[in-house]
């Protein structure tokens, strides 16, 4: 099944190269001695600049799909195209390069390094780019300002609230100026007010043209998306109303 985001295409008037194009993607792996088929022939296109949520039950294949989209893993079968690059055929070093330059990651548990300050955590995302010191400092400051944490640059994660930590994680992801931002349950560990805080930040980034793919269980998050996909038992369907 191929699902093209007609809304975005229509808005742009001219066909654009999709941010992602997945063709016949299957992923199987072994777990406790048995073979698990996490994804079964998934076909999907994600347009550039779209805001897409992926919902579904636990064990439905959401995390597996996110790992394929994030160039963290390769499909067992099929193609995962990011721009013109087929991640299924890319070498390990090419995948590293794609992760370093094209993709920003935001995790449910923030995954910040507790011994580093907010600014240093953001800087970690720039490490693989080989930028000069001043360029890095400028990008770090800009990213933190973008998420409203310029004043907290020298604070360590333990000194920040959950929402602030997630904003630092978002700053780390966007400092590299990626093509897409992948978020795995970005509001899963946050209360309602903090969730709204993060959603505002994400919506602002999307409004600036950043493609957003968010895996979520939270229907409040899904309602804010332009396009909603559901992944269940390894198959995907569009549930956008």
Partner 1 sequence: MYWTYLRRELSGRKKQTAIVAIGLAIAIALVIIVNALSAGVRDAQAQALESVYGVGTDVTVTGAQAEPGESGQGGRGPQFDFDEDGGQTDDDGTTSLSQSRLMTDFLRGTLDASTLGTVTAIDGVAAASGALSLTNTTFDGELPQRPDADAEGGTGGQEMPQQGEGGGMGGGFGGGSFNVDSFTVLGIDPADTSVGPLSAVELTDGRALEAADAGSEVAVLDASYATSSELGVGDTIDVGGTEFEIVGIVGSTSSDADTASNVYIPLDVAQELSGAGDVISTVYVQAESSDQIAAVQSALEEALPDATVSSQSDLASTVSGSLSSAGSLITSLGTWLSIIVLAVAVALAVLFTISGISRRTREIGTLKAIGWSNGRVVGQVAGESVVQALIGGVAGVALGLIGVLAINLVSPTISSAPSADSGPGGMGQGGMGGGGMGGGFGSQLGQTATDIVLSAPLSLWIVLAALLLAMAGGLVAGAFGGWRAARLSPAEALRAVA
Minimum distance, C-beta of residue 176 to partner 1, in the bound complex (Å): 7
Minimum distance, C-beta of residue 150 to partner 1, in the bound complex (Å): 20
Closer of 1 and 113 to partner 1 (Cβ): 113
Residues that bind partner 1 (CB under 8 A): 63, 67, 70, 72-73, 92-93, 96-97, 99-101, 103-105, 107-109, 111, 113-116, 120, 123-125, 127-129, 172-173, 176
Report CA dihedral (38, 39, 40, 42) to the nearest 10 degrees. Answer: 170
Closer of 48 and 64 to partner 1 (Cβ): 64
- Residue (of 151, 91, 157) closest to 124 by Cα position: 157
50 SS3 class:
coil
Closer of 37 and 111 to partner 1 (Cβ): 111
Closer of 103 and 149 to partner 1 (Cβ): 103
Closer of 79 and 97 to partner 1 (Cβ): 97
> Hey, which bits of 63-117 come out as E strands?
77-82, 85-86, 103-106
The answer to whether 228 touches 53, Cβ cutoff 8 Å, is yes
CA–CA separation, 175 vs 169, rounded Å? Answer: 10
Minimum distance, C-beta of residue 232 to partner 1, in the bound complex (Å): 18
- Residue (of 53, 12, 9) closest to 226 by Cα position: 53
Minimum distance, C-beta of residue 186 to partner 1, in the bound complex (Å): 14
Q: How many Å separate Cα 172 from the centre of its chain?
A: 12
Minimum distance, C-beta of residue 98 to partner 1, in the bound complex (Å): 8
> Hey, which bits of 5-83 come out as E strands?
20-31, 34-46, 51-55, 77-82
């Amino acid at each position: 099944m191929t699902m093209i985001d007609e809304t975005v295409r229509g808005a742009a008037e001219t066909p654009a190269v999709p941010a992602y194009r997945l063709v016949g993607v299957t992923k199987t792996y072994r777990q406790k001695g048995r073979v698990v088929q996490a994804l079964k022939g998934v076909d999907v296109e994600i347009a550039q600049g779209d805001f897409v949520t992926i919902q579904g039950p636990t064990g439905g294949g959401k995390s597996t799909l996110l790992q394929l989209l994030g160039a963290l893993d390769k499909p067992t079968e099929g193609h995962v195209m990011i721009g013109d690059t087929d991640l299924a055929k890319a070498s390990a070093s090419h995948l590293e390069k794609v992760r370093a330059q094209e993709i920003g990651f935001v995790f449910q548990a923030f995954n910040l390094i507790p011994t580093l300050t907010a600014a240093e955590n953001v800087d970690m995302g720039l490490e693989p780019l080989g930028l000069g010191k001043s360029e890095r400092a400028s990008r770090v400051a800009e990213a933190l300002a973008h998420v409203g944490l310029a004043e907290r640059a020298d604070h360590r994660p333990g000194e920040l609230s959950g929402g602030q930590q997630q904003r630092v994680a978002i700053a780390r992801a966007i400092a590299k100026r990626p093509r897409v931002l992948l978020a795995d349950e970005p509001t899963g560990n946050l209360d309602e007010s903090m969730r709204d805080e993060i959603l505002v930040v994400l919506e602002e980034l999307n409004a600036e043209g950043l493609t957003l793919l968010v895996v979520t269980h939270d229907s409040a998050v899904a309602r804010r998306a332009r396009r909603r996909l559901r992944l269940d038992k390894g198959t995907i369907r569009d549930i956008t109303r």
